Structure 1
Amino acid sequence: MGRVIGFELNSQDPKKASAFYAKVFGWQVSSQQWDYYPVKTGKGEQLGIDGGIAKGPGDFPHGSRIQIEVDCIDESIRSAKDNGAMVIREKMEFESFYLAYLVDPTGLGFGLVQQK
């Protein structure tokens, strides 16, 4: 629980940002899915933390956030709120996971992910 499993870079031009990171750092960028470009940062035996580049929403148009895997997203949201966090996006359901976005008491954004 609490393992960092990914990152998200938010841009208003995710296609251009994806091309930049691919050229500069050699990241493998996959085809766009819902204004989101999945990214692999490692090669061969040198694994990296994978993530994606997305069209930043109005509440977070630019910037980066880590995604933290939790055992129970509802409990983690409740605990985060009890400790001063603010929920930016309530729990969303995807095919194989749940995702929510929060901001900690200092203003740092992060995502919570629970696998199904």
Structure 2
Amino acid sequence: MGRIIHVELTATDTARAAAFYAEAFGWKTESSPFVDEYLVATTGAGEGIDGAIMARAYQEQATIAWLQVDDLDATLTAVREAGGSVAGEVQEIPGQGRVVYVRDPEGTLVGLRGQ
């Protein structure tokens, strides 16, 4: 439980950032059908994870790791009990599951995806 499954990179200019990652690392991006200025990034074949480039207007933290959890509600309880906090509303993404951001006691933002 809690395995990193996705990473978001924030940018003030998502197109410029996408062009950089495409040229420097060969990433391919496409617009998300769910969120404006959110580019889903395919980072390559083999082991590793894919990610996204999103507008910094949504979240200011430069990089956000996403964790897969078995039970989102139980994990949110555990986050609070461990001194963290929930940073937003739980949302449903069709075909993906329920998602929400949380903050650890140091203020670092982490995304959670679960059922």
> TM class, shorter-chain normalised?
0.7 to 0.9
SS in 2 for 1:30: strand
SS in 2 for 1:57: coil
**Cα separation, partners in 2 of 1:93 and 1:32, compared to 1, 3 Å:** closer
AA in 1 matched with 2:5: I
Counterpart mapping for 1:1-116 below 5 A: 1-33=1-33, 34=35, 35-43=37-45, 46-57=46-57, 60-96=59-95, 97-114=97-114
**Percent of aligned pairs sharing the same letter:** 34
Contact persistence 1:11–1:17 (CA under 8 A)? yes
Q: CA deviation at 1:32?
A: 4.5
* Structure 1 unaligned blocks of 5 or more: none
Quote the Cα distance in structure 2 between the aligned partners of 1:57 and 1:114: 25
Q: CA deviation at 1:55?
A: 1.2
Contact persistence 1:40–1:48 (CA under 8 A)? no
Cα distance per residue 1:30-89 (max 9 Å; x no partner): 23442211111123xx3321010111235x224111100001111111110111112111
Q: TM-score, normalised by structure 1?
A: 0.86
Count residues in correspondence: 112
Contact persistence 1:87–1:101 (CA under 8 A)? yes
* Structure 2 unaligned blocks of 5 or more: none
AA in 1 matched with 2:108: L
SS in 2 for 1:81: helix
SS in 2 for 1:102: strand
**Cα separation, partners in 2 of 1:91 and 1:32, compared to 1, 3 Å:** closer
Computed over aligned residues only, the root mean square deviation of the Cα atoms, in angstroms, reads 1.6
